[in-house]
Amino acid sequence: MTDHLRRFLDDAALAKIISLNNRHVTDILEWAVRLCKPKKITVVSDDPEDIDYVRQLALQTGEELPLAIEGHTIHFDNYRDQARDKDHTRVLLPAGKKLGKHINTIDRDKGLQEIFGLMDGIMQGKEMLVRFFSLGPRNSGFSIPAMQITNSAYVAHSEDLLYRPGYGEFIKLNGNPDFFYFVHSAGELDDQGHSKNDHLRRIYIDLEENRVLSINNQYAGNSLGLKKLALRLAINKANYEDWLTEHMFIMGIHPPGKSRTTYFTGAFPSACGKTSTAMIPGQTIVGDDIAYLRVWDDGSCHAVNIESGIFGIISDVNPVDDPLIYNCLTTPRELIFSNVLINNGKPYWIGMGQEAPETGLNHFGRYERGKKDENGNEIPVAHKNARYTIRLSELDNVDPEMENPDGVQIDGIIYGGRDSDTNVPVCQSLDWNHGVFLGACLESETTAATLGQEGVRKHSPMANLDFVVVPLHRYIQNHLDFGHRLKKKPLIFSTNYFLKDDSGNYLTSKIDKKVWILWAEGRAHGDFQAIEAPVGYIPYYTDLKILFETVLKKSFSLELYRQLFAIRIDKLLQKLARIEEIYSDEQFPEQFVAAFHVQRLRLLSAQEKYKSDIIYPEMLI
């Protein structure tokens, strides 16, 4: 350790760094201090007093404001910094290396020169916080240590709620450099405490150094290194170490009348039902966002939630649809709201089931109903991407195995898409390779409310396209290989909750998904037989009828069953052509390319056999 670094460390901070006995940590700190030029360094260990210091600092700096309910605080991001910045989130690409057209890249040397220039002195006059976390349960072979350097107490506090303490995990490294690290600064702040130079927002991902450099931003998706930024680093690491990092929830399914818990993971693009599936009443949650999956000693698939908290979208959370979460948001506990409206210490958000007041404070500043921004747009009461940050342990439905260092055994994987006229509500893949094919063909249909054009289908393999930082052919090959190493493979399912009739009305209700998930769970245990269709295995009517009656106390007509589980040949062929075109410009694994031919042949053969463009389930029996 150099004398230059020692000048920034008091005795307590110096002792904490020395105790790590890790030259790589020291070198990173030395580099970060010379570049960012902070006023002081505070090293935060796993000690409760250290962690409480960060909470209090967030209030002292004004990055968070206290609310009326004990433990609740509010944070506001810059009005122009309310979501992940895809344009300025770039992978640093070394000369001569290719990753794929889906990845936003910048030449590594050029990118480093730019961001180092922007980071020069960015923490002048500010306190540098050094945090240590564990991505995954402590004392686990799954987990990855992560080091966060930031001058934002809000960022450091948020990570307290979202991740496990990891100072002790760094001690166990015993000098090993196998960890991720992140450097963040909100940059220069204006009078409202917002990033002043958001036009210079940069989030650069350096796969060569397992690090992310993020500046001039505050929104957690851009600033919290351990969130989606660490997801990208872990995807890269997993794809070269033969495991999987996935944008998946982990849930425990508890079938009525049976004394078992079956664990499923699920990947759903935005607005396809991911959170509502993970939070189905009567089931338990291990994680809602990111999972690490490994081949276990007995040849089964095990997974852990890398997080211990939720950074959730708060819009439309209300006591009717989301009673568990709503109760957490309205009772005392440690909780951070972001970008909602506050009035007299009470938060208000879109779709909460209460009328918001005419005035208050929100992400724009002082709010009055009808107020407009600089572009003449009316400012909403709260941002539609407003969030809440809490620990998972605050939820009554948290699974008791969440902190198990061995993870949980996964018996099912769900890939959930969204379309109004093509895919059946639930379908089991024919085998592992076919399941990977289904995941790689995942689509999400937009609505008029979101993009102004209804029916546009966005492709997102495994609901992970925004975060995949390796060539797609390698990512898919790793999924195929992962399954081949398993002695006990999870069954793979696809879901689609959004089929509509000819009048544009949804054919099923929000609660019906519980039946589809329970059918899938039963298939994992051999409880139900299934019909082999050209797209995979679909349920028998009698099994679903009984599930609807016993689980939801509602009838399920044969006519509705036929509508829902009709195989729409023309629509499926159109989808196949769309996806095949997307995958046509890269050299993909032979078995994956062959899956397109096999799927088309199955569809065309069924069309010829039954002389129909729509094949109903009873025709296949």
Planar angle of CA 245, 246, 251, nearest 5 degrees: 120
User: Catalytic one among 36, 272, 301, 441?
Assistant: 272
Percentage of the chain lying above the pLDDT 90 cut:
89
Active site annotation includes 427? no
The string of DSSP codes covering 347-392 is: EE-TTSSSPPPSEEEETTEEEETT-B-TTSPBPPSS-TT-EEEEEG
Tell me the angle at which helices 23-36 and 108-119 cross, rounded to the nearest 10 degrees: 60
Domain 245-307+402-620: assigned CATH number:
3.90.228.20
Q: What is the pLDDT of residues 410-435, one digit of tens each?
A: 999 999 999 999 999 999 999 999 99
Q: Can you tell me which residue has the tokens 């298939």?
A: 523
Q: Give the closest residue to 159 by CA, choosing from 185, 133, 129, 130.
A: 133
pLDDT tens-digit series, residues 427-477:
999 999 999 999 999 999 875 433 345 568 899 999 999 999 999 999 999
Q: Model confidence at 18, in pLDDT bands (50, 70, 90)?
A: very high
Q: Tell me what pLDDT residue 450 has.
A: 39
Geometric angle at alpha carbon 284, from 280 and 286, rounded to 5° = 115
- Domain extents in the chain: 3-64+85-238, 245-307+402-620, 311-394
- Per-residue model confidence as pLDDT tens digits over 474-525: 999 999 999 999 999 999 999 999 999 999 999 999 899 999 999 999 999 9
pLDDT at 447: 55
What's the confidence (pLDDT) of residue 549? Answer: 98
577 pLDDT band, cuts 50/70/90, is very high
Q: How far apart are alpha carbons 440 and 498 in whole angstroms?
A: 19
pLDDT, residue 17, reads 96
C-alpha 421: how far from its chain's center?
A: 27
Strand 408-417 vs strand 491-496: parallel, antiparallel, or unpaired? parallel
Per-residue pLDDT, 448: 43
Quote the CA–CA distance of 263 and 258 in Å, as a whole number.
14
Interval 57-70: pLDDT, tens: 999 999 999 999 99
CATH 2.170.8.10 fits 311-394, yes or no: yes
3-state secondary structure of 9: coil
What pLDDT digit, counting tens, does each position of 88-109 carry?
A: 999 999 998 989 888 999 999 9
Compute the mean pLDDT over every residue in the chain, rounded to the nearest whole number. 95
For 166-283, list the strands marked E by DSSP: 180-185, 202-206, 211-215, 244-246, 249-253, 262-267
- 180, two tokens: 């991720």
Residue 1 pLDDT exceeds 80: no
Architecture of domain 3-64+85-238: 3-Layer(aba) Sandwich (3.40)
Give the Å distances, CA to CA, from 580 to 328, 477, 567, 577, 592: 45, 16, 20, 5, 11
